[in-house]
Amino acid sequence: MKILYFVIVMCMIMSIGCKKNYNHKPGGPYYFKWSVSYKGFYPTGEITKDEVKILIEDGYAYTIAFFNNDGKPEIMKKYHKGEMVKKIELYYKDKKLSKVIIIDKEGNKTIKNY
Which pTM was predicted? 0.74
Which pLDDT score is estimated for 30?
94
- Burial classification of residue 86, based on how many CB atoms lie within 10 Å of its CB (0-12 exposed, 13-18 middle, 19 or more buried): middle
State the Cα angle at 30 between 28 and 34, rounded to 5°.
140
DSSP string, 13-74: HHGGGG-----PPSEEEEEEE--EETTEE--EEEE-HHHHHHHHHHT-EEEEEEE-TTS-EE
pLDDT in tens, 2-27: 564 555 555 555 444 444 455 688 99
pLDDT in tens, 50-94: 999 999 999 999 999 999 998 888 999 999 888 999 999 989 999
pLDDT in tens, 22-54: 568 899 999 998 754 433 346 888 999 999 999
pLDDT over 50 at 97, yes or no: yes
Domain ranges of the chain: 2-113
Q: How far apart are CA 60 and CA 54, in angstroms?
A: 9
Whether residue 29 has a cis bond before it, omega within 30° of 0: yes
Which pLDDT score is estimated for 17?
44
